[in-house]
Structure 1
Amino acid sequence: MPLKQLVPSEMTADDIRDWCSVLNDMTAADMPAEPRWRTDRLRDYLVGTLPDDRRFAFLYRDDDGDLIGHASLIMFGGDQAGTGVVEMSTRPSARGHGVGKALLRAVAACAKAEGCRTLSVEVIATTPAVGFYDRVGFKRAVVEQRHLLRWADVDWEKIEQAAGRLAAGYRLEYHAGGVPERLLDTYAGVKANLRANADVAVVPEWRGSAQADRLRDSLATLERRGMRSHIVVALAEPFGHVVGLTELVVAAQRPTRADQYDTVVDPAHRSYGLAMSMKARLLTELRRAEPQLTDVQTWTIETADDVRWINSELGFVHDVDWYDYEADVDKLIERIERDA
């Protein structure tokens, strides 16, 4: 059988090397300006999940044993049991030969067997993946705009000034690698605003948890996956409670690019410029902590005018849209089999 399903911990060193090679071939063809993946800690990246989540890997090799496509399926546990996220890559030279459809058929069958009802996938709008997922029945749920801040173009004087503009009654703290125990409860409470205002069907537990223990697990999972966390929090005096936060990670597998995750301000403390101050402060800390960076990427939904304005002021530039697709597992299987 050319297609093999396994858990990432069972992958060999050759599997890991080939997995990276497929990713980079696809990247070179579809988005040549993107940074390439490295095998450094790639196994950790694939193996690491939250305690209640599960990941399966799918490898498709040709008759000569060369890996020409692969897929990953993460199935969430906890409050989001029944939902999963797919990541799939195919070598450009193998496209049009049914590799992607075979991988997706295997992913959907595994998801159904494990009780997963809904699958989602992120697709870069300028790549051939859009047509593929449209044809197999995925529906576009959300459009996100990716913005890039290129390190060589940063106006550091402007960033330093923005980081220093802080309303009276607040202070900022920077933390590398996680959140101190003394801040976990109020930090998690601010994070809960993500779930309450979610515009997507799947908000991973490490993003929207209002429970300190879940947040602790999520930060530990990022570290196990080789992803260095950088966090700035806004604290309200005199009690030092977290009322705002911004998060970013730098992955060992792509260390020249930072991924901005979430910037959240408690509703009672908005309109004080905290988001701008926190994001600017984080950039100044990154300049010292991650000197190898070449850019930072972040995403916003189309209606988030306030966030886009902040990003623009800091130097972020919109470069491409990303589509969040969703599919019902049963309907997906039916569609794939009907079109087989």
Structure 2
Amino acid sequence: MLTIEEFEVRKAGPEDLEAWCRVFEDGHGELTGGTMGPGASAERLRAGSGDGVRRWAARKAGRICAVAGLRPQRHDPAIGFLRLSVAPQARCRGVGSALLARIAAEAGDRGTERIQAMVSAGTPGQSFVRGWRVTLRLELHEQRLDRDVLRRCHELAADPHPDYRVVSWQRAAPVEWAPSFGRVMGHVLDAPGAALQMASRAWDTAAVRAWEAEMAGRRLLVSAVVHLPSCEVVGATVATVAGAGARAADQHDTAVLPGHRTGGLARWMKARHTLRLHELFPEAGSVTVTVNRENAPMLAVNRVIGYRLVRERLLVETPSAGITIGGTGPRG
């Protein structure tokens, strides 16, 4: 018999929490190519149990076989971003559909008018959300840190840029660069489609510190281009590694201030960032990143430093009151 319940992190026992995180992380890994593992995921949930995410668990014979989380989007709290994962042994049995029906029925309780989700194109996940509107087409790229890619990055990192230097830090931005780093991060929204996925924020020093706190549970690496005449950050790129021993890293935001673009700074910075990442986390053999397929400049930069297309992903959306279920769950 299938049962579905709202899953409360603070009330969950250690075994249930790890089981929930295992199903979630397995599904997340299939979609993105990276995972932090159930132990690290459980630790992170315990630390941030008041994060505003509603969670559910589906059980068969008392065992968790499907999970979901619905997070209000910062740029529009009326949108809930859904992550739903079904364990392989429970797929194609209506479990994902039943779980989604429960979520849709309860989504409006906290003002969620629309639901967004990310699915891999051409998979059962896309069939599951048949009838949902595609808002963005994204490409998942992977950079394998093999000898050829590292050699290419060494070549690009040697390019001369006399008025600039690349610096890197882990955890907190140095005090002298935090304000200008924040200004650069504000320009992440310049990328095509970024406003559909993230909220505009002030990005003062306090916002930078809050963003760094959000990275708790992951190992953060930032590389930044400093303009020597002004001593300010004018470009930055961000990566995280899930934890010790993680085999893959996640590349996140990259931005360069408008007045410093077109001179090859992004390529130079990202090449040096790859080398620094490899130096600090040699066990991570690859890096994955998601880029809007309309962001031609960033796609070009990534190709030069060795990223290759893995799959296409779709950001889809539907009114929560009019969910259309295609029959099988995402990744199942």
Give the structure-1-normalised TM-score.
0.85
Partner Cα distance (1:95, 1:41) in 2: 25
Query: In the TM superposition, what whole-angstrom CA distance separates every residue of 1:66-102 from its partner, at most 9, and x where no partner exists?
Result: 211110111245x532222111011233233322122
Compute the displacement of 1:27 (Å): 7.7
Structure 2 match to 1:38: 37
Structure 1 match to 2:17: 16
Name which of 243, 254, 258 aligns with 1:252: 243
Equivalence map 1:168-207=2 (5 Å): 168-200=162-194, 202-205=196-199
Structure 2 match to 1:167: 161
Equivalence map 1:103-114=2 (5 Å): 103-114=99-110
Structure 2 match to 1:272: 263
Structure 1 residues not aligned, in runs of 5+: none
Structure 2 match to 1:294: 285
Name which of 57, 67, 73 aligns with 1:70: 67
Amino acid at match of 1:247: V
Partner Cα distance (1:89, 1:264) in 2: 32
Partner Cα distance (1:107, 1:114) in 2: 12
CA contact 1:39–1:253 (8 Å) conserved in 2: no
3-state SS, counterpart of residue 14 of structure 1: helix
Structure 2 match to 1:150: 144
Q: Which has the higher contact order (CA 8 A, sep 6+)?
A: 2
3-state SS, counterpart of residue 2 of structure 1: strand
Partner Cα distance (2:52, 2:258) in 1: 34
| Aligned: 1:5 with 2:6 | yes
Name which of 77, 80, 97 aligns with 2:76: 80
Compute the displacement of 1:208 (Å): 5.7
Partner Cα distance (2:323, 2:32) in 1: 33
Structure 2 match to 1:309: 300
Q: How many residues were matched structurally?
A: 326
Partner Cα distance (2:249, 2:202) in 1: 23
3-state SS, counterpart of residue 82 of structure 2: strand
Structure 1 match to 2:330: none
Partner Cα distance (2:186, 2:26) in 1: 38
Q: Would the alpha carbon gap of residues 72 and 311 (structure 1) be closer, same or farther in structure 2, given more than 3 Å must change?
A: same
Partner Cα distance (2:158, 2:113) in 1: 47
CA contact 2:73–2:79 (8 Å) conserved in 1: yes
Structure 2 residues not aligned, in runs of 5+: 328-332
Compute the displacement of 1:162 (Å): 1.2
Partner Cα distance (2:72, 2:290) in 1: 23
Name which of 125, 129, 142 aligns with 2:125: 129
Amino acid at match of 1:56: R
CA contact 2:18–2:39 (8 Å) conserved in 1: no
Structure 1 match to 2:87: 91
Q: Would the alpha carbon gap of residues 46 and 254 (structure 1) be closer, same or farther in structure 2, given more than 3 Å must change?
A: farther
Q: Would the alpha carbon gap of residues 20 and 83 (structure 1) be closer, same or farther in structure 2, given more than 3 Å must change?
A: same
Partner Cα distance (1:47, 1:126) in 2: 35
Name which of 226, 239, 244 aligns with 1:235: 226
Q: Would the alpha carbon gap of residues 72 and 24 (structure 1) be closer, same or farther in structure 2, given more than 3 Å must change?
A: closer
| Aligned: 1:57 with 2:32 | no
Partner Cα distance (1:326, 1:281) in 2: 37
Partner Cα distance (1:142, 1:179) in 2: 31
Q: Cα RMSD between the aligned structures?
A: 2.9
CA contact 1:49–1:221 (8 Å) conserved in 2: no
3-state SS, counterpart of residue 41 of structure 1: helix
Structure 2 match to 1:138: 132
3-state SS, counterpart of residue 155 of structure 1: helix
3-state SS, counterpart of residue 276 of structure 1: helix
CA contact 1:209–1:215 (8 Å) conserved in 2: no
